[in-house]
C-alpha cells in the first residue's frame, strides 16, 4: 500500500476546513431574512467603499485608508477582503464568506498551533486538530462573522502574537 505524505493529508485537511467554514457562512447568509442596517451593514459597506477606492487608483485608496485611521473605526480589516470582493462580487454572501475565509479559518488554525505548542504531552497532530475543532465549535467566534463583523480578525492578531511569544522557550 502506498502511503501519502503527511503534508499532503494536512494540506487536504486545511483545504477542507477552509471550504467548510466558507460553505457554512454562505449557507447561513442565504437562510437569513433580514434587512441589514446600522453596524451590521456598516462593515460590508466600508469594504465595498475600500474596493471602489482601489478601483479609482492606488493613491485614492491609500488616502481612503489614511482617512479612516482618524475615525471611530478603521478600514484596515478590508485589506485581505478587497481581492475577494474583486473576484467574487459585492454581495453580502461573498463578504461573509470572505470573513470566514480570511479571519475565522486562520483563527481556528492559529488556535491549533497554540495548543500544539503549549500542550506537548499528547501527539502534536491530534492536539492541533482538536484545538481547531474546539475553536470552530465556539458560537462566540461564529456569531460576529455570520453577522458581518470582522471581530475574528482581532482573534487572529492576538493568537498570532501569542503563538510568536510562546515560540521562545524561555518566554522572554
User: Could you state, in chain order, the average pLDDT of each consecutive group of 10 residues for the chain (172 residues)?
Assistant: 74 92 93 76 94 96 92 92 96 96 96 91 89 94 94 94 84 62
What's the domain count of the chain?
A: 1
**Residue among 14, 32, 12 nearest 129 (CA):** 14
Residue 90 lies inside a defined structural domain of this protein: yes
CB crowding 12-26: b at 16 or more within 10 Å, else e: eeeeebbeebbebbb
Residue 12 lies inside a defined structural domain of this protein: no
Residue 115 lies inside a defined structural domain of this protein: yes
pLDDT at residue 162, rounded to an integer: 92
Residue 101 lies inside a defined structural domain of this protein: yes
Residue 148 lies inside a defined structural domain of this protein: yes
Residue 88 lies inside a defined structural domain of this protein: yes
Q: What is the pTM of this model?
A: 0.88
Q: Which domain holds residue 149?
A: 17-32+39-166
pLDDT at residue 3, rounded to an integer: 63
Amino acid at each position: 500500500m502506498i502511503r501519502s505524505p503527511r503534508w499532503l493529508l494536512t494540506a487536504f485537511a486545511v483545504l477542507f476546513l477552509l471550504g467548510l467554514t466558507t460553505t457554512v457562512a454562505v449557507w447561513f447568509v442565504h437562510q437569513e431574512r433580514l434587512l441589514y442596517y446600522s453596524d451590521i451593514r456598516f462593515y460590508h459597506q466600508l469594504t465595498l467603499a475600500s474596493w471602489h477606492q482601489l478601483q479609482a487608483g492606488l493613491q485614492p485608496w491609500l488616502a481612503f485608508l489614511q482617512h479612516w485611521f482618524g475615525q471611530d473605526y478603521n478600514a484596515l480589516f478590508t485589506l485581505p477582503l478587497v481581492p475577494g470582493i474583486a473576484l467574487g462580487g459585492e454581495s453580502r454572501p461573498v463578504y461573509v464568506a470572505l470573513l470566514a475565509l480570511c479571519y475565522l479559518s486562520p483563527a481556528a488554525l492559529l488556535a491549533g498551533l497554540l495548543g500544539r505548542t503549549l500542550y506537548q504531552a499528547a501527539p502534536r497532530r491530534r492536539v492541533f486538530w482538536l484545538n481547531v475543532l474546539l475553536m470552530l465549535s465556539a458560537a462566540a467566534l461564529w456569531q460576529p462573522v455570520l453577522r458581518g463583523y470582522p471581530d475574528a480578525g482581532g482573534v487572529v492578531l492576538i493568537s498570532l502574537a501569542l503563538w510568536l511569544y510562546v515560540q521562545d522557550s524561555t518566554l522572554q
